[in-house]
Chains A and B, each alone.
Chain A
Amino acid sequence: MATKNYKPVIYSTAIELPGSQTEVFDRLIDLKKWWPEDFEGEDIKLHSEFVFTTGDSHYSKNKVIEFVPGKKLSWLVVESLRKTDGYDWTGTKMIFALTSKGDHTMLQFHYDGVVPENELERLDRVCDMTVKEMFYNYIVNGKGK
């Protein structure tokens, strides 16, 4: 859990995506396909559990806590470790909320949790790249991982 070296933070970012909320949501839950880490676990639905890994260095076990088709997806990090320094972001929530914007959909992403104090900028960058580059281009331009 969080120690005094970690800072509570809510980082938010948003992007407009083509397609209806339902279409965007259906692609969003394909985490295995677009999330930049390796995915292992159940299909995404309420209470499903899954693990993200980045090689040997990064690990997190996550549980879906909100699943509202076309509207909202959130998961809670229930176990996590970055081996190089022991960083543990357990308790952090990743929240995706969808609203309509004409023919398109606005995706709001919130990272609600903890981050090492000297890594605020890195967190912003990683969140932006995950949502605005990986997910956006997975839908729009064929980018895969």
Chain B
Amino acid sequence: MENKNFKATIEVSRSPQEVFTCITNDVAKWWGGKDLEGSSKKLNDEFIIHHPGAHYSKQKLVEVVPGKKITWLVTDSTLHWLKKDQHEWANTKMIFEIVAKGDKTVLHFEHEGLVPGKECYAMCEQGWNMVIKDWLFNFITYDKPHFKL
């Protein structure tokens, strides 16, 4: 039976290696912004995203297969807007699987542990859908931020 983790899939006109590079080299550009500190390139690298009063998460790269797969383990987190358990992201994993499809590439994103029973699920589902399908997609495809005034 399929698990209930949040998942999002995008298909891009780039090579698997290019997709891999976007996800490892430039997390700040499509997700964390200037509030990102640390590194996200190699196994055991760690990075923190901290928006004071809103979001704190610390990620560790626990699996890195060049051109194919990246897994981040959230080792600590505080989502300030949660009422019951602000640390719901702790010990969850963000998994990126990259698969070639003809001259395109399919990226499967899964947030393991982000399941409908969690208080944060509905809001984070909406959020990840934008971050992955808009921001990451545009960043991989056009190599520039999604937002242009």
Contact residues of A with B, CB < 8 Å? 17-19, 23, 26-27, 30, 33-34, 36-37, 54, 58, 103, 126, 129, 132-134, 136-145
Contacts and interface: CB of A to CB of B under 8 A. Distances in A.
Nearest to A36: B147
Interface stretch (B60-68, B98-106, B125-133): B125-133
A139 B55 contact: yes
Contacts of A137: 127, 130-131
B147 A143 contact: no
Interface in B2-24: none
B54 A138 contact: yes
B149 A138 contact: no
Interface in B118-142: 123-124, 126-128, 130-131, 134-135
Nearest to B77: A142
B80 A144 contact: no
Contacts, number: 84
A29 B32 CA distance: 19
A144 B51 contact: yes
A139 to B, nearest CB: 5
B127 A126 contact: no
A144 B35 contact: yes
A141 B127 contact: yes
B36 A141 contact: no
A145 B130 CA distance: 14
Nearest to B33: A144
A143 B31 contact: yes
B51 A26 contact: no
Contacts of A18: 81-82, 123
Interface string B65-80: 0000000000000011
Contact of A134 (B28, B79, B80, B147): B147
B40 interface: no
A33 B131 contact: no
Given A19-B81, A58-B149, A145-B34, A140 B49 contact: no
A144 B34 contact: yes
A144 B149 contact: no
A142 B49 contact: yes
